[in-house]
Structure formats: C-alpha cells, structure tokens
Chains A and B, each alone.
Chain A
Amino acid sequence: MGPKEKQKKEKQKHSSVVLEERRLPIFLLLPAAALIIFVIAFPMIYSLYLSFTNFTLVSQSAPKFVGFRNYMLLFQDSVFLPALGRTVLYIMITVNVELVLGLFIANAMSHVVRGQGILRTILMMPMMFAPILVGFQFKWIFNDQVGLVNNILFEIFQKPVIIPWLIQKPHGFITILVAEIWMSTPFMVIIFLAGILSISPDIIDAAEVDGTTEWQKFSHVIVPSVAPFIYIALAVRSLDVARAYDLVSIMTGGGPAHRTELIWTYVYRLAFTSQNFAIGSAMSYITVLIAIAFTFYFFRQLIKTRKVRGV
C-alpha cells in the first residue's frame, strides 16, 4: 500500500468517524423528536385540519372540508373581533406594566446589600400560586359585597361602598389586568435582576465617575445594558399572556356581556359548551399567529440589540 492510498484510507476512516459522530446526536434525539411529533405536532396538525371542516362535538358524520369558511365566519362574528382586540390590549398593557415595574423593582433590589436572597424568595411568591388560585383570590378581593377593596373603602368613608368591580366597564377589565400583573411581575424582576447583576461594575463605576444622577444611571446605563434580557422576558411573557385563560375564567368568565372576553375564554365556550370545535380551532390558530408575531418582533429586536452591542 502506497502512502497515497494509505492517506486516502486514513481520510476515509476519518470521514466515517466524523459521519458516525454526526449521526449519533441525531440518533439519540430521535426518541425525543418522535415523542414531540406525537404529542405536539400531531394534535396541532389535526386541529389545523379540523379548523377547515364543519366538525362539531356532537356530529355523527365524518367532518366535511369547508375551506376557509370558519375563518370567514369568525370575522363576521360580533364577539370575536372585540375579543381579539381586547386580547392584544391585554397583552400589551400587562407586558408593558410588568416591564416597567420589573425594571424598577429589580434596580431597587440590586442595591439591597443584606437579605437579598430572602427578598427574592418573598418576591417570587405570587409566581408560586396556580393561576386558578390567583383568580379566586382576586375574585374575592374585588367582590362587591364581601371583597377586600370595598371593605377598605367602607373603612375609609365610613359608609357602605358597593362598587361591582368585576361587572362595571372598565373596572372588570382593569381587575383582570391587576391580577395578571400581580402574578407575573416577579418573573420580570428575577430576569432583570439577573441582567443587572451581570453588568460589569466598571461600567457603573465609570458612569458614577462621570457624575450621572441615579435616574441617568438607570435610564442610560442599566436599561440599555439589560436590553437582551428585556426582549427575552417580553417574548416569554407575551406568549404566556396570549394563552391567558384560567385566571380570567375564574374571575369573570369573560363576562358580563363579553366585557372581559379574551380569545381563550371565547374559544373554550365555543368549542366545548357550544360544541363548535371547528370554529374553536380556527380561532385558536389566529391567536397562535398573533403570539408568533409578538415573539418574532421581540426576537428581531433582541438580535438587533445584540448586533449593536456586539454580543
């Protein structure tokens, strides 16, 4: 065997080892991928298919293909479009308020020298409750007869104050916003605190040497520095809020008179009580598209920020 042949054989051996090494992860990932396809992709594709049929929960006959009829019907539905708009508004308000609160609280916490661990744990407590429990808790807080808020008002004004918080416009919508913000702001705080603590002390020191005020330091140094964290948190929370159901369902059920109706409370009623699974599926896909749009936007911003910052 000549040296060339030997080299060729070595090369072949090497490439087969490389191929083997490349195949191994794919092979190892196959069971997980198969499972994901089975439990996520298959139901998603099936519900997408159902959204193009006339399937109802009580129909005996096989679903008939109806094209885009369900999607067209949705846009003629006087409840759907307001619910869609309300859902987008709900996402925008909760996520933005959580962002602002999260930044301020995280910044304040970063200054705490002693007991930060305990403070972090206390702050995370709302996240430990299931949304259903939070829903019941706020339903009681805002109850018009025995609720905490009206009782406090009674103590202040020394006369019965019966404000139907969960009923009136726009109080009902505000109450579900308050509950959602209370429950999820800690998530933002934890993410931003991690971001703030990862800023190099040199940058902060340099800003202080330059004579910046606390506000300037916060707005010109800290916030830009944690921008990647902000976009990740916004993306995660937008997806999360776009799925809002449990809390709203318990507090108001989307009512009264659709005043707090979000997409998922409407989807649930349409699909299960009203038996109309096909339209429910179509509506779900529209919501998924909105969630994807929000996520796409935030990740694009994240990439842009990372490019600017060279990280």
Chain B
Amino acid sequence: MKKLLTLTLALLLVAGFVFAVGKQEAAAPTVLKCAFIGGANYEELYKEIPKWEAKTGMKVEIVYKGDGFQIDKKLKTDFAAGAVDYDVCWDHSSFFTQYIKADGIVPLDDYFSADELKDFIPMILNSGKRDGKLWIVPRHFDISCLHYRTDLFQDFGLTVPETWDEFKSTALKVQPNLQPGVYATEFAGKEEALTGRFYEVSTCEGAEFFDKNWKPGFNAPGGVKAATMFRDLYKAGAMPPGTTSFVWEDVAKNWVAGNIVMYTEWYGWYSYFQDPSASKVAGLFDIVRQPKGDAGVHGGWAGQHSFSITKASQQKDTAADFIKFITSIESQTVEANLGFLVTRNSVWDKIIADAKAAGNPLDVKRLELAQFQAVNDFRTPPLVAEWLPASDIFWPIMQGIILGDKTPKQGLDEAAAKVEAMMKDRGYY
C-alpha cells in the first residue's frame, strides 16, 4: 500500500513537471503591449486594431493612455526605472531624442525596408532620424499656418501679412479699432508652446536656437527681434492680457469665440473651426503660409506623432509588423478623414482629390498648403535630448520679457547663460 502511494505521488510529480514544461513551451507571447497617446480623436485609429489582431492572431493591449506630456513623463520614468512592460510606444519628433539617450527605444532600420518607407513624405520621415538611423515611424504631423478673419480684414482694409514685420504692424494698426475683448492676435504663452513659437519666429529672423556646437544662439539679433515683437504686441494690448496663461486649447477657444483677428495656428483644429455649432468664425476665415522673416525663411515649427519600438520588447518583429499596420495607407486614410495631416504621399493624393470632388475651396486650399509646407517649411525643434530642459529654462524668462519684467536682450542673455550652463553640465562641452 505504501509503495503504491509512493508510486502515485512520483507519477503525479512527473505529470506535473511535464505539464508545467508544456505550458512554458506554449507560453510564447500572444499579447502585444502598447503605451499610446489618448484623447478622442487620437483614439479613433485604435478602433482599427482588431483588423491586425484578426490577421495575426495576436492581442493588442494598450497598457497606458495619456496626453503628450503625460506619456512623455511615463516613458522617461519607465526607461529610467527599467520598468517597461510594453513593446510599442507613442513617440514624437520633439521628444524621441530623450528616449534614445535613455536607451529606451531601438533603431528601426532593420525592421523597415526602404521600399516600405518610400511612400512617407521625406522631410517628415527624415525628422525621425538621428545619427543616420531611423527611430520613429511617422503617424501624422502638424505645422502651423496663418489664420485670419476675412470679414475683419475687409472691414478694416487690411492686407494679409507676408512677413513678421507686416504681421506686427498690421496687429498694431488694427487693435485701436477693435471692440473691448477683441484682440489683433494671440499666441500660446507658456510651456513648450511658447518656446516653440519663439523658436519659429526667431528662426525666420535668422537666429538659431542652438548652433552646431549646441551653444545657445537665440540671443542673437534675430532672437531679440522676435522677442521684441512678442513684447511689443502684448504691451500695446494687441494680445489678450491672459496670454501668458494660454496653451493650445485656450488660443483655439478665443479664436472660435470670434475674439481674434489673426494668429498662427495648427492645421489640426480645422474641423472644429469650421463647425458652425461650436465656432463663430466658421466660414469667416482664410489661411495662408506662415509669414517669413529677415532671413527669408517662412515659419515652419512642426512635429510628428509617431511610433517606436521599446528596447525592452521581446517581440520586436511583431512590434514592427504592428507599426506597419497602424501606419499603413488604410490606417492613415482613417486618420486623414478625421482631419489629421498624415504622412504618406499616396494618402495625400487621395484626400486632395476627394476634397476637390466635395467642392469646398478652403478644404482643398488647406490640404494643398499643408502639403506644400510639409515639403518646404517643415522644421522640428533641435533634435537633442535637452530640448525640453532648455525650453523649461527659456519659457518662464520669455514670459518675463512679454510682461515687461526684463528687456528682450536682458532676458535672452539670461536664458542663454542658463541653457549653456545646463548643456555644459550634461557634457556637451
């Protein structure tokens, strides 16, 4: 009896072991984990994911969703803590250099052939390269153009500005004629949004944010001229008093409320602006290419939302296959129909043809202008991991310039000294 019991126990042990090994062999990953940007319009694309799941038999689990800055914080902290449990992550042309430095993402050249990438707009695709390697695959991009109120321009006999000097003089000229609460122009006045707009205008005026040795160059005369424009417009009351507390939503709300005559804005808001139930300016505005500065350069601060593969991923081929699907012509068509500026030339050809067939001239102009700017003006912030730290030093000082706490030259010199100290501390020189 005792022997029988021992034998049974031994058999059970062996069976258990075999079962466990069998389970282990069968436990090849079937789930692809992702950390993505969230928000209503961004998430429409994720509804396409079941098609890839059906094709591959994999399951996609979105383990995190947050806005751009939330997900940036998550990625940085996860990479630093070695706590990455996802294969594919949202990425951005302004941020990806940080993740390279943190050793959190991998180059994608081995996973994407030249043939697979040839349909992407070259200027945008190249903005995801660093040290000759491709790190991000573009999903959609955005760039700004000048929005202006056709009715008010006609009423006040204004000419559409082609340079930043004309922009400033037009704003100063029209402001005294406007009703209280209506302003000639506005800008987002804090965080990276302010740094970016300054970067855009100062580049047009001939200043570099960083020179080739990563020394700050924004306090050059072109930078001072750009900062002076912001300061003068605010001082003259040609911008809302609350400008330095505005981010993107705030400026867009002021515009749709009919309180702004002209300003520079991303294309992505277009459907909101043209929705008569939400916007007082629907049908009352036009768009043109961003003004240019003394350097003959047109404004073109731009960025692309994109996808990367994490270094921690154990299934990089599958992750790459998923990115190919989520940036495919079919997926990009879904996003293009939502108003996003997608990154594949073939999709552009189709949506411009569709817009022409629909017959709204501004829809067509918007697409053609955006495509033109993508090819000619697309300019990311400096591709360096210290862009955000530099911006964090810069924008509060720029706010001080706008509010008159310091002169443009004083402020920019102070910011340049601080940014240089930070870059030195990070080992750049």
Contacts and interface: CB of A to CB of B under 8 A. Distances in A.
Contact of A276 (B72, B101, B389, B391): B389
B66 interface: no
Interface stretch (B39-47, B139-147, B158-166, B396-404): B396-404
B189 interface: yes
Main secondary structure on A side of the interface with B? loop
Interface in B69-92: 69, 72-73, 76-77, 79-80
B392 A257 contact: no
Interface in A156-170: 160, 162-164, 166-167
B245 A167 contact: yes
A57 B77 contact: yes
A253 interface: yes
A38 to B, nearest CB: 16
A53 interface: no
Nearest to B80: A57
A272 interface: yes
B396 A167 contact: no
Given A144-B242, A277-B80, A160 B181 contact: yes
Contacts, number: 99
B388 A256 contact: no
B76 A272 contact: yes
Contacts of A164: 241-242, 245
B373 interface: no
Contact of B181 (A56, A145, A166, A277): A145
Given A58-B80, A145-B240, A160-B180, A256 B102 contact: no
A94 interface: no
B268 to A, nearest CB: 22
A227 to B, nearest CB: 42
A274 interface: yes
A26 to B, nearest CB: 34
A254 B190 CA distance: 11
B308 interface: no
Given A57-B80, A256-B189, A257-B244, A275 B103 contact: no
A272 B73 contact: yes
A166 B388 contact: no
A269 interface: yes
Contacts of A166: 242, 245
A143 B242 contact: yes
A291 to B, nearest CB: 24
Nearest to B97: A58
A167 B241 contact: yes
A60 interface: yes
27 contacts: A57-B102, A58-B76, A58-B79, A60-B101, A60-B102, A160-B180, A164-B241, A252-B245, A254-B396, A255-B190, A255-B244, A255-B245, A256-B244, A256-B400, A257-B396, A257-B397, A257-B399, A257-B400, A258-B396, A258-B400, A261-B396, A269-B392, A272-B73, A273-B392, A275-B385, A275-B389, A276-B389
Interface of A: 56-60, 79, 143-145, 160, 162-164, 166-167, 252-258, 261, 269-270, 272-277
